């Protein structure tokens, strides 16, 4: 399962204090990049001490690098929220 693979890779790479991975593929039915199989679009929120003193662009690049193989073959889109613990947890939806 792609969601589990993403979670495992991000946990190993970033030791997050908070991690949430949501499959949002169903929101993109009929759009380009939607295969109909699901698990192609994800919303990721991650809080990691490794993001301290790193700007948002660098944080996103780190996540993209971590998931490079999946992005090449299976994932069409990621929506990222990347925070360090000093920035706190994201507000609940």
Name the helix (H) or strand (E) containing 21.
strand 18-23
Paired strand residues for 93:
none
pLDDT at residue 19, rounded to an integer: 97
Nearest in space to 20 (alpha carbons), one of 51, 48, 45: 45
Query: What is the average per-residue pLDDT within 50-75?
Result: 94
pLDDT band at 48 (very low <50, low <70, confident <90, very high): very high
Q: Which one is predicted more confidently, 28 or 88?
A: 88
What is the average pLDDT across 76-82?
92
- Whether 93 shows a pLDDT value over 60: the answer reads no
Determine the angle formed by the axes of helices 2-14 and 56-66, rounding to 10 degrees: 120
Between 3.30.300.90, 3.40.50.150, 3.40.440.10, 1.10.3720.10, what CATH number should domain 2-87 receive?
Answer: 3.30.300.90
The domain segmentation of the chain, as residue ranges, is 2-87
pLDDT at 91 over 70: no
Check pLDDT > 90 for residue 80: yes
Closest CA to 14 of 55, 60, 79, 57: 60
């Amino acid at each position: 399962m792609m969601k589990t693979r993403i979670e495992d890779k991000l946990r190993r790479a970033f030791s997050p204090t908070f991690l949430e991975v949501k499959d949002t593929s169903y929101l993109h039915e009929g759009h380009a990049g939607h295969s109909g199989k699901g698990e192609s679009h994800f919303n990721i929120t991650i809080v990691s001490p490794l993001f301290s003193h790193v700007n948002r662009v660098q944080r996103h690049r780190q996540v993209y690098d971590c998931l490079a193989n999946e992005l090449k073959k299976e994932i069409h889109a990621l929506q990222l929220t990347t925070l360090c613990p000093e920035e706190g947890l994201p507000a609940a939806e």
